[in-house]
Amino acid sequence: MQPASVMIFKLRPILYVAALALTATPPSFAQKLDAPPEVSSEEAAAAQKFKQLVASLDWKTEGEGPLGSMATLKVPAGYRFTGGAGTIKLMEVYGNLTNGSELGYIAPLDMGWFAVFEFQDCGYVKDDEKNKLDADKILKQLKDGQVEANKELAKRGMPTLEVLGWQTPPFYNPQTNNLEWAIRLRDGAGGQTINYKTKLLGRRGVMDVVLVCDEDQLSGVIPQYQKLLKGFAYQKEESYAAFSKGDKIATYGLTGLIVGGGLLAAAKTGLLAKLWKPILAGLVVIGAFFKRIFTGKTQESI
């Protein structure tokens, strides 16, 4: 299976809070911490609040996790999954815009990295561009789009991002109908990360999956992530192969999925600045506050 959009931050900063949160979960999930750095009372209060949030969420650690009514994800041993409501709460506490289309969040029990699932109800995306993906042209469009997106992020007091280049250029797997790429990003504080994305094409739209991990984790995490995606399945009537004449057809193709759908048309009509929301689709940011607080490391206990 393969991946999907733009997320930024280094994961190591959140491990301290993740480990704190795990102390409120059953013993089998418990983690031990190395000595954490000193934090202010405000930061300690924020960490406690996050711990309480994680403990309050509805987690599945086995079986299948529902992704809305159209798909499911197998939850292997050693992982935790929460559905749409829990995903939205986590994204908001990390400082992200949400729109209600978030359907699932899966991570190892220590939450050292994670993937977010979100469905785009854009219609059936034709894959006739599968042999025509122009990585250089797409990269320029992503950079231009992020410049516009940064204007809105700045207005909202949120971290801005810079698109640096490809980690893995986009490619499409016609056997699984998955579009995947990885892009290198830099945040306003100069920190770099990798945004690894997967688009899982279906009959009525696309399941957008974003993997969030630190760059030095990438080589070890990607095989785990791709193995997880093998447990993803659309309901039979929602699969790409179930397309039927009369179904809604997306107004863009594979290139549009990478650069933000309506962004292509917007760039041609001068509406680009107004369509910042499509540009931000799939963006996941953990703000500087969280980066500063969470500098501990977890060590799994038996």
Give the model confidence (pLDDT) of 58-94 as tens digits. Answer: 999 999 999 999 999 999 999 999 999 999 998 888 7
Q: Which residues are CB-neighbours of 32 under 8 A, at least 6 positions away?
A: 19, 298, 299, 301
Provide DSSP, 182-199.
EEEEEETTS-EEEEEEEE
With contact defined as beta carbons under 8 Å apart, do 205 and 43 qualify?
A: no
Q: How confident is the model at residue 116 (pLDDT cuts 50, 70, 90)?
A: very high
Give the model confidence (pLDDT) of 224-274 as tens digits. Answer: 999 999 999 999 999 999 999 999 999 989 998 888 753 333 333 333 333
Q: Is the pLDDT of residue 16 over 70?
A: no
Structure confidence at residue 38 (pLDDT):
62
Q: Is the pLDDT of residue 137 over 80?
A: yes
Enumerate the domain spans of the chain. 7-124+172-252+282-294
Give the model confidence (pLDDT) of 164-183 as tens digits. Answer: 999 899 999 888 899 999 88
Helix ranges (DSSP H) in 7-166: 15-22, 41-56, 84-93, 135-155
Q: Is the pLDDT of residue 195 over 50?
A: yes
Cα dihedral 225, 226, 231, 236 in deg (nearest 10) = 130
pTM metric for this prediction:
0.74
